[in-house]
Amino acid sequence: MSKTAFLFAGQGAQAVGMGKDLAASFPTARALFDQANTVLGYDLASICFEGPESALTQTENAQPGIYLVSWVALRLLQERVPTLQADATAGLSLGEFTALAAAGTLSFEEGLTITRLRGRFMQEACDATRGGMAAVIGLDEGPCREVCEATGVTLANLNCPGQIVISGELDRIPAAVEAAKARGAKKAIPLTVAGAYHSPLMSSAQPRLSEALSRVQLRTPRIPVISNVTALPHGPADTISAVLVDQVTSSVRWEASMRYLLAQGFTRFIELGPGSALSGFLRRIDKTAQAFTVSDVPSLEATVKALGGG
């Protein structure tokens, strides 16, 4: 029997209009957006639906916004295909919180509140530092790691074969880009980002996130949830908070996470939330894996049909 994993997007997947057609088409979705507004005390739904983009891209809005749209996509798919069960979950950076909520480690409301705070803490860390990031295309991890060591930056995201993101002090990024090209990268492109995510420059967010997580009673996941830090399933409840705090400054080991699931016999992956980047990464990792997305009404209908739902 095939195994199914639910995948959840991270920051960068946000787009003005996300979730709007779902809320207009399904009462369950509209109710969840209304509930989120009540929990947070401001109109996050309107920012997701109408923007402006400058507001949506603010980290403290983007993170709970992506979490919310991902949760809506999950609930609608479960509503339409009630027999569908995930055998594991995983999420990219921010998406790990959605993955944990889907596995019962924290409630929808708790996850929404924590991602809002996490976004705020990370934005403040960005504002207090001068950080940058760059995408490196067509260079393996080993040479890329050597580039990082030589130029004083770090590996932020190991997404899939040939796609790595580096992170560090803004004035070090140009040298790292040139060094990557010299080592054979097809492309090395500075990214337009607020700061150096998944690098030591985010460390000021960690104690504040730890304190926020201490106010939540985390529960052991019902199904395996793959950690970005270890690329292995999270352990018992009392170990999860520390790993989530480590994740703020650690590399996101996405390719290794997907290879772990593939090695465990997972063949079907459903990406829930805005965008389709994770499905694209998966195709680069293993072309034989089935990948579905649920981000809007057309993709929901297509996935429901493919899964044999009503």
Question: Catalytic residues, which ones?
Answer: 93, 198
User: Rounded to an integer, what is the distance from CA 253 to the centroid of its chain?
Assistant: 12
Task: Give CA–CA dist 184/191, Å, rounded.
Answer: 19
What residue type is assigned to position 121 of the chain? F
φ, ψ dihedrals at 159, nearest 5°? -80, -50
User: Cα–Cα–Cα angle for 50, 122, 49, nearest 5°?
Assistant: 10
Sign of CA dihedral 197, 291, 6, 82: positive
φ, ψ dihedrals at 163, nearest 5°? -135, 110
The token pair that represents 128 in the structure block: 């207090």
